[in-house]
Amino acid sequence: MPEESRPKHPVPKIPDVATFMRRFGEDTACAAHWREKRWGPNLERFICPDCGHDRGWWLPTRGLVECRDCHHQTSPTAGTVLHGARVPLWKWFWAMYQEAHNKKGIAAITLAKQIQVCYQTAWAMLHKLREAMRERCQRYVLTGVVEIDETYVGGREPGRPGRGVEKKVPVAVAVELDEDGRPKRIAMGGMERVDARSLKDFTTKHVAKGSSLRTDGWGSYVSVARAGYTHEVIITGGGREAVQIFPWVHTFIGNLKRMILGTDHSVSPKHLDRYLAAFVYRANRRWIEANLFDRLVIAAVHAKPLTFKKLTTGAK
C-alpha cells in the first residue's frame, strides 16, 4: 500500500517525559495534584474521617486538612494507596506514569533503577497500584455478545499442551464485541482449574446476565450458559482455525503473554490477578490513553490501602 494511502492513527497527546517531570518532579506539586483529585480544588469533597463533617481548611505548613468541627487533622494520602508511604511522592507519580502509559507495564527491577529504591520497595509500589487497577476493573461487567475462552500462564510442561497442564495457571478471558464484531471491553481472571464451576464463577462475576456467550465446544460452557445466558457454540479444530474464528480473544491472549514474557518474564500465581487487572485496565482505556495517568491517580486515591504484610502473606 502506498505511504500516502495508508490509514493514519493519531498519536495520543500524552505528556512527554520532560513535560511530566517539570510538572511532577517535586513533592509539593505532586501533593497539590493528589489533594485536588481527592477532595477538589477547594476541599469541596472533603469529609472528616473522624466525625463526618464536610468542612475543613488546609494547613500548608503541615500538609494536612483540619476539620472545622472536631479539628481532626487528615493527611491527603491517609486511607489511600499511598497510606503510610515513606517513598517521596514524585517517585510514586513516576511509577504511575510508567504503569499507565507503557502498554506492557514496567518491571519492578526497572522501576527500582529509575527512582533509586530497592527492588522490594518498587515491587510493592507496583502491586499497590495494580490493586487499585483491580478494584476499578471490578466495577464493570461486560454485556451483549461476549466471546469467552481460556489460556494458560506459566512455564511449559513438556508433552502436555492445552487444558490440564498442572504447571500452568489457567486464565479465563472474555471480550465484549460491538455490532460490527470489533472488541470493546475485556475481562480476565485466574482460575484454580478449567471446569464448569470455575468458568461459571468467572462469567457470572464479569458478564451481565442475559448476554450472549460465544464459545468453543468445550463441554463446561453448557453449564455456564445455564446461569442466565444465551449460548452460541462454535466447534473449532484448535490452532489456526480457533484463532480465525475467535480472533479478538486470541489477540488479547497473545498481548497478555507478550506483556508477561517481555516485562515481568514470570508471575506468581499468588499475584496473577493483579497483573491481569493492570493489563485489562489499560486495554479497556486504550481509546483515552492521553488521560490514563490522571485516571490511575484517581483510582489510587479511592483504592483501599494495601499493607506489605497483606501483600506478601494475605493476612489482614
Domains within the chain, CATH numbers bracketed: 17-45+77-138+299-313 (no CATH), 145-283 (3.30.420.10)
Contact present, 217 and 231 (Cβ < 8 Å): no
Instruction: Please give the chain's pLDDT, 316 residues, in tens.
Output: 344 444 455 555 777 899 999 999 999 999 999 999 999 999 999 999 999 999 999 999 999 999 999 999 999 999 999 998 899 999 999 999 999 999 889 999 999 999 999 999 999 999 999 999 999 999 999 999 999 999 998 654 444 444 444 467 899 999 999 999 899 999 999 998 889 999 999 999 999 999 999 998 888 899 999 999 999 988 776 667 677 778 899 999 999 998 988 776 668 888 899 999 999 999 999 988 889 999 999 999 999 998 888 888 765 4
H-type alpha helices, 76-143: 89-101, 108-115, 119-137
Report d(CA 24, CA 186) in Å as an integer: 32
Report d(CA 161, CA 64) in Å as an integer: 56
Report d(CA 230, CA 95) in Å as an integer: 42
Contact present, 144 and 155 (Cβ < 8 Å): no
Matching residue, cell 499493607: 307
The pTM assigned to this predicted structure is: 0.87
| pLDDT score of 4 | 45
**Cell matching residue 226:** 445455564
Rg (CA), the chain: 22
SS3 33: helix
Amino acid at 275: Y
| pLDDT score of 12 | 59
| pLDDT score of 90 | 97
